Amino acid sequence: MNLDQNTIKQLAEHLDNCQLNQQDTLKITEQHPDMDWDDAYAIQDEIRARKLARGLKVVGLKAGLTSFAKMKQMGVEVPVFGFMTDDYTVQDGGEVKVSELIHPKVEPEIAFVTKAPLKGPGCHIGAVLAATDFVMPGIEVIDSRYRDFKFDLKSVIADNTSASRFVVGGQPVGVEGLDLRTTGIVLEVNGVPMAFGAGAAVLGHPAAAIAMLANHLGERGEEIPAGTMILSGGITEAVAVKAGDNVTLRVQGMGSCSLRFV
């Protein structure tokens, strides 16, 4: 690690306040160019500690930058990981107030819910599928705290991977007999199909993102507990939204979930 504890705390406070005040900022590596990956996750951990101290609860985990296209664009081979707190939860069909966000975008995802713990190293797709209770449609609302979504990987990890809101819903289904690689999705905004894809866009198989998360946590001596909801990553590019937009995600064999921006 290259940053001292005071700097990590200050940067966490800064990013947390940006989120609370809907204020954007320049990417933090501008001021701290020698920040490393451990520093970045330490800042994210400090943001989580701040939220927990305010009485919030962690209700899910996420993998981000999981589509081959986005990873190539960013020049990375490993996704980024973050967490969701209870105030990020939107009920299916519920409202998201744009006044509480900076510049939201939506991503179509497949959400996994585990029934057994998953721990790396060596976690693989088979172990993830064996530990999966069910999968269901999920829309992630990302809202980078960085001006115009201009960031680098370390800055985005520190910023809890742009997490801000999510909805899961539709019809939960078990993974037996399901080929998540060929599961098709359509993301509609105001009834108009805006993005299409299939599960294989996420690392070849969405369960690979969950395995990578388990391996990442394993390096830190942590695991994915049973009963965890995990967003496996955007299947398509994120779509910018504004007040008045209704967003619906349809996933083949899993129904749909939706939210509206007000």
Instruction: Decide: is 140 part of the binding site for ligand 0L1 (CB under 6 A).
Output: yes
Choices 12-20, 59-67, 118-126, 207-215 (CB under 6 A): range interacting with ligand 0L1: 59-67
Residue with tokens 């501008």: 30
Compute the distance between CA of residue 87 and CA of residue 113 in angstroms, rounded to an integer.
Answer: 19
By the 10 Å C-beta count (0-12 exposed, 13-18 middle, 19+ buried), 2 is classed as exposed
Identify which range of 22-30, 45-53, 155-163, 200-208 contacts ligand 0L1 by CB under 6 A. 155-163
Which is closer to Mg ion, CB of 64 or CB of 137? Answer: 64
Q: Which is nearer to Mg ion, 8 or 159 (CB)?
A: 159
For residue 224, the cross-strand partners are: 118
Specify which residues 229 forms β-bridges with: 113
Q: Distances in Å between the alpha carbon of 160 and those of 79, 103, 238, 256?
A: 13, 16, 17, 26
Work out the burial of residue 126: count CB atoms within 10 Å of its CB; fewer than 13 is exposed, 13-18 middle, 19 or more buried.
Answer: exposed
Closest CB 234 distance from ligand 0L1, rounded Å: 5
Q: Does 140 bind Mg ion (CB under 5 A)?
A: yes
Q: Where do we find the tokens 């999705």?
A: 185
Amino acid at 212: M
Decide: is 142 part of the binding site for ligand 0L1 (CB under 6 A): yes
Q: Pick the binder of Mg ion from 16, 107, 143, 159 (CB under 5 A).
A: 107
Partner touching 197 among Mg ion, ligand 0L1, none, CB below 5 to 8 Å by kind = none
Binding mask 217-236 for ligand 0L1 (x = CB under 6 A): ----------------xx--
Question: What's the min distance (Å) between Cβ of 166 and Mg ion?
Answer: 8
Of residues 157 through 216, those in contact with Mg ion by CB under 5 A are none
Residue closer to Mg ion by CB (options 8, 142) is: 142
* The binder of Mg ion chosen from 82, 104, 108, 234 (CB under 5 A): 234
HSE-CB of 56 using CA atoms within 13 angstroms: 17
Neighbours of 117 (CB within 10 A): 13
With CB atoms as reference, the residue minimizing the distance to ligand 0L1 is: 64
Q: For binding to Mg ion (CB under 5 A), which residues are involved?
A: 64, 107, 140, 234
